[in-house]
Amino acid sequence: MPATNDPSVPPEGPAQGPGDASSPPEPTPAASPPAEEPEPEPDLSAPEYYLPRELSLLEFQRRVLAQSQDTTVPLLERLRFLVITATNLDEFFEIRVSGLKQRIHYGAGGVDVSGSTSQETLHDVTTKARRLIREQYRILNQELLPALEEEGIQLLRREEWTEPQARWIRSYFDEQVLPVLSPIGLDPAHPFPKTLGKSLNFIVELEGKDGFGRHIPMAIVQVARSLPRLIALPKKLSPDKESFVLLSSIVHAHVEELFRGLTVLGCHQFRVTRDSDLWVDPEEVQDLLHALRGELSSRHYSAAVRLEVSDKCPAKISNFLLERFEMHPGDLYRVDGPVNLYRLAALIDVVDRPDLKYSSFLPGLPRRLVKGDGDLFEVLRTGNVLLHHPYQSFQPVLEFLERAATDPAVLAIKMTLYRTGSDSPVVKSLVRAAQAGKDVTCVVELRARFDEAANIDLATRLQEVGAKVVYGIVGFKTHSKMLMVVRREGRKLRRYCHLGTGNYHAGTARLYTDIGLLTADERIGEDMQKLFLQLTGTGSKVRLKKLLASPFSLRKTLIRLIDAEAEHARRGEPAHIRIKVNSINEPKVIQALYRASQAGVKIEMVVRGICCVRPGVKGVSENIRVRSIVGRFLEHSRAYCFHAGGEDLVYMGSADLLGRNLHGRVEVVFPIEDRRHKRRILREVFGVHEELSGDSWSLRSDGSWRRVTQERGHQRSGQHQLLMKLAESS
């Protein structure tokens, strides 16, 4: 008899006959316990498995703000992180909060993926934003300004001016500021003026009568943007320190000069943040460039979404301003300091103190380019070149484009441009190429948020030299990063390509972490040719051999690869997914990741900003780990890696896992096929942060982030520092 643990079966012993007096009575079989019903499969679309998008974005701002408190970060860089959070919050109100308000106004709110209504989300984000803003000013006033003063750098308040400083400041006001100011008294002939979004303004309380016998109780002083917001005092006025004063303090101190003969009862600075999301009806617009030009002119005066005032501003004044801007009391934010912290960025640039800033860093170059004879086309014919910015220089990309512009064998250049400067090296090379008679085609995305005006100028400049300029597909932003050069080599036309995760902007290439691939791969070239034809012309959906593109194949392919990894895990095989993105909220992709986690796939994610994935939920996502890296550089590269039975499929590209990227944008993701390059991606993009914790945060299932700490006695470091060292030694 097989062994059993069933208590209803007696243990084996000597055989006993039925008539044996010593035989115990036969036990009554015990009733079997009722079979437990299996727990129902969780509904992976249920709201409790998702984190709110807008709150997740504010959590990112909190992680950035934490850098301003990190004493291992150089002092002026800490101030820079504070300024970055201020500008990020401006954009948050201009885009996110304004969008919530619009949805509520038009009754189109519904619920988001986390189950929150627009009203609930607006309440939650404004509550969290207030806490964040209060913390900003606390850090500025109690930590950064005192620390700067200890280093001999002071931002002087009005009450701190010495007599000689006050005389110099008065002279500066009379000569440099007063001639530019035009106060507006509020009366029937002078209604409340239009106020530029994010501009510095003062509302002044007055008493008395002017020269015309009028009693005007209030006036508005709008400070021109042409005036510098931070003014350095002459060294002789503070020989032992570098002293600065804010323009707002200067205007406030001398506002009486604008209202001679009247008594100034109060002077209060204020700033209004406005809805800055441009919208163009694709069914109505005939010319996208002209339509956007018209929208840009109205952006500065669109609906107000936030009013900032000094914390000393009386309630009657703030209420008056709220009424004029058609806002509610919940839109008012009182601050303990200047209403625009961005103005402090000038201090970082003006102060020449290398010891208080990040040390200089010289990007490296791949060995193949260093050893080459300068012929990049020859190098690419023998193999791909992988660039990891900013650790490796962006210069090879610029040289690739410049060489193409001047090489007689190059016939055509095709390129997508999302963010770049009209005076950038990229644009100069394209202009030279067009002037040299090459066929230059540029897909310029005019709707790159806050770069619309620059891109309109760029498009106009390229058109003037004969380049073909198109604006992609109306209704779909062209967010892909592609550059293709067509070169005649003997009787053959060969395509040389660059694909990247970042913009063709030499400035951000020094500040953002991005991956670029230079290649002469024929199939990638064929795919890019098809994509450019689709962007500039018309036709049916194209079939690509190597590249993945949204809004067509990208989401479907990623989900298929995730599901395939889950199948490996179900068969008991090794299964691993690594994803690095700026943001993720697409429900179908998240559900695929949850299914893979349930199957036992180990999933590592590095997410900079928005993350609606809720990791660590039993039965759903306990195999998902989410990290965020916040440090010297802005994490910007996107990567998708699958173990794939040991094949290690690695993709990089322009696409985040947001609904807008996968459904409403033209994005391109490209494969990394060289095994050395795969190892580099797995090591440099994913591997390093596992070993270090200086700039790493871990996401908890409740949506909060915890800074990773190392074991006591270990030196605290960070991913960016190690990769800089690796680049310098390579």
Contacts 24+ apart (CB under 8 A), 95-100: 95/276, 95/277, 95/449, 96/54, 96/57, 96/125, 97/122, 97/125, 97/126, 97/305, 97/306, 98/274, 98/275, 98/276, 98/277, 98/303, 98/305, 99/277, 100/54, 100/125
Of 489, 524, 472, which is closest to residue 664 (Cα–Cα)? 472
Alpha-carbon distance of 627 to 189, in angstroms, equals 58
Residues 581 and 535 in one domain: no
Q: Are 662 and 589 in contact (CB under 8 A)?
A: yes
- Give this prediction's pTM: 0.88
Of 504, 502, 404, 498, which is closest to residue 454 (Cα–Cα)? 504
Q: Where are the beta strands (DSSP E) in 630-725?
A: 634-635, 638-642, 649-653, 665-672, 696-699, 705-707
The predicted pLDDT at position 720 comes to 86
Residues 341 and 383 in one domain: no
Residues 382 and 426 in one domain: yes
CATH number of the domain enclosing 269: 3.30.1840.10
* 1 found inside a domain: no
Q: Are 450 and 261 in contact (CB under 8 A)?
A: no
Residues 693 and 654 in one domain: yes
> Over 60: is that where the pLDDT of 367 sits?
yes
Residues 166 and 264 in one domain: yes
* 2 found inside a domain: no
Residue that is last in its domain, among 487, 512, 546: 546
> Over 70: is that where the pLDDT of 489 sits?
yes
Using pLDDT thresholds of 50, 70 and 90, give the confidence band for residue 108: confident
CATH number of the domain enclosing 409: 3.30.870.10
Residue that is last in its domain, among 546, 570, 597: 546
The parent domain of residue 714 ranges over 549-729
Angle of helix 75-91 versus helix 53-67 axis, rounded to 10 = 160
Q: Pairing state of beta strands 477-478 and 665-672?
A: parallel
71: Cβ–Cβ under 8 A, 6 or more apart, which residues? none
Contacts 24+ apart (CB under 8 A), 676-684: 677/384, 677/386, 677/650, 678/648, 678/650, 680/386, 680/388, 681/515, 681/639, 681/641, 681/650, 681/652, 682/578, 682/641, 682/648, 682/650, 684/388, 684/391, 684/723, 684/726
Mean pLDDT of 669-680: 96
Query: CB-hemisphere CA count at 13 Å for 715?
Result: 4
pLDDT, one tens digit per residue, over 34-45 is 656 667 889 999
> Over 70: is that where the pLDDT of 419 sits?
yes
* 30 found inside a domain: no
The predicted pLDDT at position 20 comes to 41
pLDDT, one tens digit per residue, over 559-605 is 999 999 999 999 999 999 999 999 999 999 999 999 999 999 999 99
The predicted pLDDT at position 10 comes to 36
Residues 611 and 710 in one domain: yes
The predicted pLDDT at position 190 comes to 76
Residue 134 sits at φ, ψ, to 5 deg, of: -60, -40
- Decide: helix, strand or coil at residue 699: strand
* 507 found inside a domain: yes
> Over 60: is that where the pLDDT of 635 sits?
yes
Residues 511 and 577 in one domain: no
Which residue has better confidence, 293 or 366?
A: 366
The predicted pLDDT at position 506 comes to 86
Alpha-carbon distance of 251 to 219, in angstroms, equals 14
Which residue has better confidence, 445 or 405?
A: 405
CATH number of the domain enclosing 93: 1.20.58.310
* 41 found inside a domain: no
Least confident of 59-68, 375-384, 530-539, 716-725: 716-725
Residues 490 and 396 in one domain: yes
The predicted pLDDT at position 452 comes to 63
In the chain, the N- to C-terminal Cα span, in Å, equals: 69
Q: Are 201 and 223 in contact (CB under 8 A)?
A: yes
Residues 188 and 282 in one domain: yes
Alpha-carbon distance of 534 to 668, in angstroms, equals 13
Using pLDDT thresholds of 50, 70 and 90, give the confidence band for residue 372: low
Mean pLDDT of 518-527: 97
The predicted pLDDT at position 36 comes to 62
Alpha-carbon distance of 197 to 184, in angstroms, equals 18
Of 565, 582, 670, 664, which is closest to residue 624 (Cα–Cα)? 565
The fraction of the chain above a pLDDT of 90, given in percent, is 70
Contacts 24+ apart (CB under 8 A), 569-576: 569/596, 569/599, 569/600, 569/601, 570/599, 570/600, 573/645, 574/643, 574/645, 574/646, 575/599, 575/600, 575/601, 575/602, 575/643, 576/601, 576/602, 576/603, 576/604, 576/642, 576/643
* 38 found inside a domain: no
As to burial, measured by CB atoms within 10 angstroms (0-12 exposed, 13-18 middle, 19+ buried), residue 156 is buried
Using pLDDT thresholds of 50, 70 and 90, give the confidence band for residue 471: confident
> Over 50: is that where the pLDDT of 219 sits?
yes
pLDDT, one tens digit per residue, over 681-702 is 999 998 765 555 568 899 999 9
Residue that is last in its domain, among 546, 578, 603: 546
Catalytic residue among 479, 498, 568, 636: 479
The predicted pLDDT at position 474 comes to 74
The predicted pLDDT at position 693 comes to 56
Residues 595 and 671 in one domain: yes
Mean pLDDT of the chain: 87
The predicted pLDDT at position 213 comes to 79
Decide if 215 is catalytic.
no
Q: Looking at the 3D structure of the chain, how many domains does it have?
A: 4
pLDDT, one tens digit per residue, over 168-184 is 999 999 999 999 999 99
* 17 found inside a domain: no
Residues 530 and 596 in one domain: no
> Over 50: is that where the pLDDT of 299 sits?
no
* 19 found inside a domain: no
Residues 379 and 400 in one domain: yes
pLDDT, one tens digit per residue, over 1-30 is 334 344 333 333 333 333 343 444 455 555
The predicted pLDDT at position 512 comes to 94
